[in-house]
Amino acid sequence: MQYSGARILIEALIEQGTDTVFGYPGGSVLFIYDELYKNSDRIRHILVSHEQHAAHAADGYARSTGKVGVCLATSGPGATNLVTGIATAYMDSVPLVAITGNVATGLLGKDSFQEVDITGVTMPIVKHNWIVKDVNELAEVVREAFAVARSGRPGPVLIDITKDVTAAMAEWRPADSGTAALAPRDKNSPAGESSLNLRAQRLAERNTRQTVTEADIGAAVKLLLEAKRPVLYAGGGVIISGACEELKNFAERLNAPVALSLMGIGSFPSDHRLYTGLIGMHGTVASNRAVQKADLLVSIGARFSDRVTSQADKFARGAKVLHLDIDPAEINKNVKSEAWVIGDIKCIIRTILGKLPQKMETQWNGDIDGWKKKSPAANSRDTALHPRFILEETAKRLGPEAIVATDVGQHQMWTAQFYPFTKPRSFLTSGGLGTMGYGLGAAEGAKIANPAKPVVLFTGDGCFRMNCGELSTVNAYKIPVLVVVFNNGVLGMVRQWQTLFYEGRYAETTLDRPPDFVKLAEAYGLTGYSAHDKASFTAALENAMKDIAAGKTAVIDARIDRDEKVLPMVPGGKPIDEQIL
């Protein structure tokens, strides 16, 4: 069947299971949008207010489901507006396919109108990218892109398609059922041999290759059997691999405390007796002290970020480190390991459990329970409306199936500390890049992907200014999201640092300016509520939930004290057990 390149792209996306594309049109993708229009009964397009939100929405779709998210933008500024969202996904290992249009092949490299070398721009922040200048290669490139995005340690990829390719005609051949999308192409096929495709094939094969060996498993088991005070440090890789139940079994077998990175939140239930909470700069007393007192630290799908280790040479100073990860590049990158096993986390834990005794004892002697009583508090002062109250009341109202998105800053850390997460893929946040403006797009994508689950965005007034334009999208498509703005009139986390380390010089962190968020919500056709104490927040939450039930996004402007702090806190460069409490 002869189809245009644009139609082939749509067919290939549907073939890969894509049901939703987040995007914004422009000249270089007009043929693609024409096909989206014609095939709107087969694939849904969500028109966002800015291309960055398209990337964040695709990211939220992917994080909340494990599927590949898809976003689409035109050439030049449309493509560059995706970059922050692509980088966000890259840092947090989110499977994403970003599709950009470009100028016609004959205009490449001539500084043509709205031309940019987006493959060059994104090279450091994608697993792989392609520029398609031959319509005969388009379908196979799409298949390869999805395979690379999903395989091994997931991540974003980018497909740049010149405008003439979207208009050109070629034969559309559906992939055979069960056929590997990355099989080497026959040199005599219409598309010929593509070095790009072969490189992509090798990349995907390397990502999916398992390197678990009996020797590595044996070394891991030996360390576990010798340990008296083991600690499990779990990250986002546990969630990505679907190994949350295995992690729970592992912890219970070892009788070992479990500390989580920010990306690991949700991988282990917060109400479990072995849960010690967040680790690192704003980690709990229990997690940070346990790691510093451990004789074995087992890192599971985590990368030893600087926000976890702080002063790396004093991190887990008395412990041997056993590192379990799918990405060999993470081994010994930030912290030296005694032993490691490289491969799929689920398979690794199952294999190790098969070689351990059914009951193991530790020698923590009640230390963990004692430290857990020193629970994190935002501040000991009694304020009218405390972040912990906001989070706990919202959690009670939404229930355990809720998906929580955040932006970045104090509200993000309070959410990680206080929200009672019990399920994986329920916490969506920008961990590695720390992207202000991430949250509303991510919440939107998550709600589209999970229509039966309640979705809430916790954001700050500084962050909400960066993404509030996306309220137009959630209203237009009737996407009901609860938005709670922690409004303290300042850039809270930066102000906290200025208070503690810059002698109170609040340079450019006071946000004494509009908008009124209640009126802003109303301007977008939504409802807004203001809360300044516990009673008014409870009333606002009740009213907002009625709006959500009616299929409408609601915004709560929650006024909190500008000097409320995220505590505990490890000052930069200090060991993680030297906390400001």
> In whole angstroms, how far apart are CA 560 and each of 278, 304, 384, 466, 537?
23, 33, 8, 20, 11
* CA separation for the pair 38, 524 (Å, rounded): 29
And the tokens for 233? 């440090």
Q: Most distant CA pair in the chain: distance in Å?
A: 75
The residue type found at 540 is A
- For residue 118, what is the enclosing H or E element? helix 118-122
Which of 38, 113, 171, 228 is the catalytic position?
113
Cβ 439 vs Cβ 459: under 8 Å: yes
Cβ 465 vs Cβ 489: under 8 Å: no
Alpha carbon 364 to its chain's center: 33
DSSP-assigned letters across all residues of 217-240 = HHHHHHHHHH-SSEEEEE-HHHHH
And the tokens for 43? 């694939």
Cβ 215 vs Cβ 223: under 8 Å: no
Number of CB atoms found within 10 A of residue 88's CB: 29
The residue type found at 67 is K
Strand ranges for 301-426 from DSSP E: 320-325, 339-342, 403-406
DSSP-assigned letters across all residues of 74-125 = -STHHHHTTHHHHHHHHHTT--EEEEEEE--GGGTTTT-TT---HHHHHGGG
Cβ 458 vs Cβ 415: under 8 Å: yes
* Strands 156-162 and 258-260, sheet pairing: unpaired
Cβ 478 vs Cβ 550: under 8 Å: no
> In whole angstroms, how far apart are CA 572 and each of 65, 277, 280, 501?
35, 20, 11, 10
Residue 313 gets which letter from DSSP? Answer: G
Write a three-state SS string for 507-538: CCCECCCCCCHHHHHHHCCCEEEEECCHHHHH
Which of 493, 537, 565, 579 is the catalytic position?
493
* CA separation for the pair 256, 227 (Å, rounded): 10
Which of 11, 31, 35, 51 is the catalytic position?
51
Which of 11, 115, 137, 163 is the catalytic position?
163
* CA separation for the pair 18, 12 (Å, rounded): 9
Q: Is 176 helix (H, G, I), strand (E, B) or coil?
A: coil
And the tokens for 257? 């405390």
Cβ 250 vs Cβ 353: under 8 Å: yes
Our answer to whether residue 114 is catalytic in this structure is yes
Our answer to whether residue 447 is catalytic in this structure is no
Q: Is 492 helix (H, G, I), strand (E, B) or coil?
A: helix
CA angle 361, 375, 305 (to 5 degrees): 75
Our answer to whether residue 51 is catalytic in this structure is yes
* CA separation for the pair 176, 482 (Å, rounded): 43
- Catalytic residue positions? 51, 113-114, 163, 493
